[in-house]
Amino acid sequence: MLRLRGNAVLEHWLARIVIRFAWHLTSLTWVMIAILLLTVGTVRVDPTMAILGIFGVGFLVAGVFDMFISRGQHIGWPLLAATGTCLLAARSVAPPIYVVFY
């Protein structure tokens, strides 16, 4: 798709970077899900804290990376970074849930 020429949208460098970034963001999301399942399945950890921490770090890293790669011109980077920041903030104030493991 990125090799196609003649499309006015794909001629712009930012559109090409955003498409490539979106592809890798999907892969990052699957990796975060895998880490979450591995963590919850093998470590005695509060699932809520694991979800908030893993996805908070993932979205914050994605937002900062998007800011650098798009030179701050992509509208998505503040939203991704804000999502990650809010998830990490929620993790810091959420009460721990005590899970009983048998």
Work out the average pLDDT over 63-82.
Answer: 86
Nearest to 58 by CA among 90, 30, 84, 79: 84
Where is pLDDT greater, at 36 or 95? 36
* 71 has pLDDT over 80: yes
Cα–Cα dist 80/28, whole Å: 13
Mean pLDDT on 89-94:
86
More confident residue, 21 or 1: 21
Report the b/e string of 28-39 with b at 16+ CB within 10 A: eeeebeebbeeb
